[in-house]
Amino acid sequence: MLLLVQYTLIFASVLMLVALGGCFSEHSGVINLGLEGIMVIGALGGALMMRYAPAGLSSFAMIALVVLCAVGFGVIYSSLLAVASINFKADQTIVGTALNMLGTAAATVIVKAINTAANPDDVSSTIQYVNQKKAFIVNIGSFQFNWFMVIAVIALIVAYVTLYKTRFGLRLMACGEHPQAAASVGINVLKMRWAGVLISGIFGGLGGICYILAGVSEWKFENGVAGFGFLALAVMIFGQWKPQRIALAALLFGLFRALSNVYTGFNFLVALNIPSTVYNMMPYIVSLIVLAFTSGSSRAPKAEGIPYDKSTR
Amino acid sequence: MKKSIWKSNAVQSLLASLICIVLGLLIGYIVLLFINPAGAGKAIIAVIKNFMNYSRANLQLKNLGATLVKTAPLLMCALSVLFAYKVGLFNIGAAGQYTVGICASLYAALAWHWGWLACLLFAVAVSALWGTIPGLLKAYCNVNEVISGIMLNWIGLYTTNMILTNVKESTSPYTFHIANENPSAILPTLGLEKLFAGNTKVTVAVPLAIVLAIVISVILNKTRFGYELKATGGNKNAAKYAGMAEKRNIILTLAIAGALAGMGAALFYLTDYEQWQCTASSVPGMGFNGIAATFLGGLNPIGTIFSSYFIQHITTGGAYVDKTMYCSQISDLISSIIIYLCGFVLFLKFAMNSSIARREEKLAAAEKAANEQKGGDK
């Protein structure tokens, strides 16, 4: 039971972080379908930091460095989306999809190059971080507490305050609702949208490193992040683009994702004799059902997905 | 005044695609340089040469055949993405529709011992049904087809693994060879193997895929049905107002897109070129490469034939890089860079058009000035 809570919380943290990223991007008016790719690149940044971090680093320094690196990679990578969709008015769906494919391909090529350079016989795309991972984890009895749970809660509070209580957040949302109106009162729409996308890069990168630290101590980059970026988008839609609701939605989705890891610990679930594949499918099926019921009445930012054009009204 | 050939849409699309290809290869080359400057030039040439890496003519032909065998499913996936895109839908679910197509065709061939035509049609039917799911969700529940498509990709992958485990070899994670179990399910070659130095994997699939590309082109451009679909894509509400069944059109489009992707799966797996690995942890890249081929082909079914070949050419070519320095995924990297660059095509065309317009204006102004001068001299 404790294990289920532990996995639910960590997966919910991942989903919430990434969904908050999507939330900022969409409120500024840019659909960020590239979150999956941003997660992969963020995870790559963090994993590389762990690989090259000097031994004997204090856990605080380790966490700070890894987080910083993941965020940095995420932000740089998200600028590819920003430049294409904001300055060049590219189709956001195509660019987002390209970023997803590019993220996995680039991470695979980079990790394989590093592994092969270190050892010519090693052609895997795996990075191991068994020892480094310990910095992130505090054992409380049999419960493995992960510092990312705290980071996720802080991120939630920061996101809520930024969006609703600051001038910046309110202006950002105006750019996603009616950019021309926002521009007419002197807001720089392009700048605001850049800010929205880069913030989604911060959160996406954080979510990525959090995801690969969730249950395992090595990551094979060929696998990407298994559709988690898109699950996060489902969480965001279910959460109606509001941080507090996103948090609740993330907990629900996290629970279903956690079940596939730990269902063998529950006698009544094992007794049902359902193949493990069904549990693997569960998060995706649940999200489809949830989307079917919530998308009809959804209240998305009005101008999302439409490139800003000064000359239209 | 003569109309400049640079103004024609086809020329501009072609030019834009060529720019994307050149830039994509260039960036790929730069990445290789970063990894290991010593062999970068050789590696990128190996990717571009693909089957021409062999020096003997019959080996070249055989490997050209192998590339064509894989081009057929890619072209079908690209057509699937293209067909939906013309109706304003982004069918990222093509990868999942392709996967359930594999599941249906292999299960029918290996478990039920059906003939190839029956297997093919079964795969088409199952994938079409799979495609109607995001269609229904989009039409009646307003669910974004990209997100539902991704979810269905994963559901399709796990389902396929689960079902095909029943027809796999006991010692490996791979499904049985069709050639051993049920030769009647293998696609007929129609004597095509003679053209490719006896490569019997080259089957009716290759010409069939090309014919279907032409059929799709005719349906989209020359029939009322195609016009209605495009009108629905242009503006759903206007289509409804004009009396078209817009919900039906959306569902039908995704069903057809699914059918095309599923057919691609059957056209590839019924050649027995490859077996399905029942422990696969991600959907085959075919569906995603189809997106690359669609946009690289300038959103034209005929253009897609060539772009599909190109994407498959470099994907297969990736296998020829020096494995002690680089990995074959470098071609995935290049094709994803190409898709990213395709996002800029609209801007490129806009830039071309405005530069032409500027030049014409200048010319006209110069002509006018010259005429006035003549007038003044008189």
Confidence of residue B170 (pLDDT cuts 50, 70, 90): confident
Contact A107, A124 (CB under 8 A): no
Residue A313 has pLDDT above 70, yes or no: no
CB atoms < 10 A from the CB of B250, how many? 26
- pLDDT tens-place string over residues A222-254: 888 888 898 899 899 888 899 999 999 999 999
Among candidate residues A232, A203, A237, the one with its CA nearest the CA of residue A77: A203
**pLDDT value, residue A15:** 94
ipTM: 0.87
* Tokens (6 digits) for B328: 């074959």
Q: What is the mean pLDDT of residues A71-89?
A: 94
Among candidates A94, A284, A298 on the partner chain, residue whose Cβ is nearest the Cβ of B295: A94
Of residues A290 and B346, the one with the higher pLDDT is A290
Among candidates A33, A101, A222 on the partner chain, residue whose Cβ is nearest the Cβ of B336: A101
Of residues A235 and A275, the one with the higher pLDDT is A235
**pLDDT value, residue B111:** 93
Q: Does the distance separating the beta carbons of A80 and B332 come in below 8 Å?
A: no
The 8-class DSSP code of residue B177 comes to: P
Say how far apart CA B374 and CA B215 lie, in whole Å: 57
Shortest alpha-carbon distance between residue A38 and chain B (Å) = 14
| B64 φ/ψ angles, rounded to the nearest 5 degrees | -60, -40
Say how far apart CA B339 and CA B294 lie, in whole Å: 9
Q: What is the mean pLDDT of residues B44-54?
A: 85
Confidence of residue B75 (pLDDT cuts 50, 70, 90): very high
Residue A242: inside a domain: yes
A170: CATH: 1.10.3470
Contact B186, B179 (CB under 8 A): yes
**pLDDT value, residue A273:** 77
Q: Structural domain of residue A182, as residue ranges? A: 2-294
Looking at chain B, list the stretches that DSSP marks H as alpha helix, in order from N- to C-terminal side: 9-35, 40-49, 57-86, 94-110, 116-141, 145-164, 178-181, 205-222, 224-234, 236-241, 246-269, 286-296, 301-317, 330-342, 345-377
> How many structural domains is chain A composed of?
1
| Beta-carbon contacts of residue B339 (< 8 Å; ≥ 6 apart) | A94, A97, A98, A101, A102, B291, B292, B295, B296
**Closest chain A residue by Cα to residue B350:** A88
CB atoms < 10 A from the CB of A61, how many? 13
| Beta-carbon contacts of residue A68 (< 8 Å; ≥ 6 apart) | A49
Q: What is the mean pLDDT of residues B124-130?
A: 97
Residue A226: inside a domain: yes
Chain A residues whose beta carbon lies within 8 Å of the beta carbon of residue B137: 288, 291-292, 295
Strand partners, B175: B168
Counting Cβ atoms within 10 Å, is residue B125 exposed (0-12), middle (13-18) or buried (19+)? middle
Taking only Cα atoms into account, the Rg of chain A, rounded to an integer number of angstroms, comes to: 20
Say how far apart CA B315 and CA B311 lie, in whole Å: 6
Residue B377 has pLDDT above 70, yes or no: no
Say how far apart CA B153 and CA B92 lie, in whole Å: 9
Confidence of residue B220 (pLDDT cuts 50, 70, 90): very high
Residue A67 has pLDDT above 60, yes or no: yes
Domain ranges of chain B: 5-367
Shortest alpha-carbon distance between residue A26 and chain B (Å) = 14
- pLDDT tens-place string over residues A97-131: 899 999 999 999 999 888 888 887 777 888 888 88
Among candidate residues B275, B276, B266, B257, the one with its CA nearest the CA of residue B115: B266
Pick from A238-247, B37-46, B259-268, B316-325 the range whose average pLDDT is largest: B259-268
**pLDDT value, residue A312:** 75
- DSSP H or E stretch at residue A218: strand A218-220
Lowest mean pLDDT among B79-83, B276-280, B343-347: B343-347
Contact A127, A47 (CB under 8 A): yes
Residue A302: inside a domain: no
In this structure, which topology does domain B5-367 adopt according to CATH? Answer: ABC transporter involved in vitamin B12 uptake, BtuC (1.10.3470)
- DSSP H or E stretch at residue A161: helix A147-165
Among candidates A33, A109, A230 on the partner chain, residue whose Cβ is nearest the Cβ of B330: A109
A126-128 and A137-140 strand pairing: unpaired
Q: What is the mean pLDDT of residues A287-310?
A: 83
Of residues B356 and B93, the one with the higher pLDDT is B93
**Closest chain B residue by Cα to residue A91:** B343
Mean pLDDT of chain B: 89
Strand partners, A144: A139
* Percent over 90 (pLDDT), chain A: 50
Among candidates A84, A101, A120 on the partner chain, residue whose Cβ is nearest the Cβ of B324: A120
Q: What is the pTM of this model?
A: 0.88
Mean pLDDT of chain A: 89
**pLDDT value, residue B349:** 82
Counting Cβ atoms within 10 Å, is residue B194 exposed (0-12), middle (13-18) or buried (19+)? exposed
Contact B261, B138 (CB under 8 A): no
Q: Does the distance separating the beta carbons of B326 and A84 come in below 8 Å?
A: no
Which candidate in A87, A94, A277, A294 is best for mutational testing of the B interface (most B CBs within 10 A)?
A94
Shortest alpha-carbon distance between residue B157 and chain A (Å) = 9
User: Tokens 């379908």 belong to which residue?
Assistant: A33
Chain B residues whose beta carbon lies within 8 Å of the beta carbon of residue A284: 151-152, 154-155
Among candidate residues B156, B148, B170, B165, the one with its CA nearest the CA of residue B265: B156
Residue A307: inside a domain: no
* Percent over 90 (pLDDT), chain B: 44
Confidence of residue B376 (pLDDT cuts 50, 70, 90): low
**pLDDT value, residue A199:** 96
Residue B312 has pLDDT above 80, yes or no: yes
**pLDDT value, residue B36:** 82
Confidence of residue B1 (pLDDT cuts 50, 70, 90): very low
Among candidates A112, A123, A277 on the partner chain, residue whose Cβ is nearest the Cβ of B158: A277
Q: What is the mean pLDDT of residues B186-214?
A: 88
